Amino acid sequence: MPMTHSRFDTRLGLTITLVVTAFLIGPVLLSVTAGLTKNYFVGLSSGLTLDWVTQVWDLYADTIWRSYGVALATLATTTLIGVPAAWVLTLFPGRLSRLLEELLTLPVAVPGLATALALIVSWGSVGWLRSSVLFIVIGHVLFTLPFMVRAVRAGMQGADLVVLDEAAATLGASRRQRFFDIIVPAARSGIVTGALTVVTLSIGEFNLTWLLHTPLTKTLPVGLADSYASMRLEVASAYTLVFLLMLLPLMVGLQWFAARTTRTGSITLGAST
């Protein structure tokens, strides 16, 4: 009898998983199909073509590379700021640390449009900054920094690095040595997890970017929205296909790197203990 219930639960769980997966992936597959069809309203009988993909690449290739540049710049900045910030919050817990962490997560709670408007009011009068990609990078850093800090801090707390830091200090290691030789390597799984989150959020961020961008600093999601609004359905769908082809390999690569880093870190930690 328990075996029957177990098989029923397994089949029910598998069925629910397949239904949810089909619900999520189905619209994406239909959109991709539309981008490869000569005439979507006629259907597949009209034939398949790569003309729409070529047209998207000719019109919007600059938005793709710009999005990659913004994501990498955002990742570099959040790493340089977020890792030390996470270590300080871990090293000095208390009310002040909790208050700082809450203030740090404020841009996540506030709508992206409100954050973008605040940046425009504060720095929009600086002409060179307002018309540069750096303005978008600043907005993305404000939006993604809390995710980096929380991921890295979770890794630091799980590894009990405060104890290791104190032990290294008693052996005469300087604060710089302790940070780069002990803290950063031990927290690398959290750093990689935060990096994965930052890159994917930055590439796909639209609300904040839409208000901060100019015609010369358009990113991939903004270009995607522009194609939906001004082009025929096949072009917009082809843009979705290009978006997936550019994003999925990056996500898979980062996931693989995160899994490998976590596994290597576990082996190293086990060997050291």
Select the more confidently predicted residue: 264 or 89: 89
Percent of the chain past pLDDT 90, that is, above it, reads 10
* Residue 119 · residue 139 · CB < 8 Å: yes
pLDDT reading at 99 higher than 80: no
What's the pTM value of the predicted model, to 2 decimals? 0.76
Dihedral class, residue 111 (left if φ above 0, else alpha if ψ from -120 to 50, else beta): beta
Could you list the beta-strand ranges (E) of the chain: none
The predicted pLDDT at position 60 comes to 80
Mean pLDDT of 229-241: 77
N- to C-terminal Cα distance for the chain? Answer: 45
What is residue 73's predicted lDDT score, i.e. its pLDDT? 94
CA distance 120 to 142: 14
Mean pLDDT throughout 120-138? 86
Residues 6+ apart with CB under 8 A from 177: 168
- At residue 134, the pLDDT reads 93
CATH superfamily membership of 51-272: MetI-like (1.10.3720.10)
**Which pLDDT does position 22 carry in this prediction?**
73
What is the rounded average pLDDT of the residues 53-68?
A: 84
Q: Find the mean pLDDT for residues 34-57.
A: 78
Rounded to the nearest integer, the mean pLDDT of the chain is 79
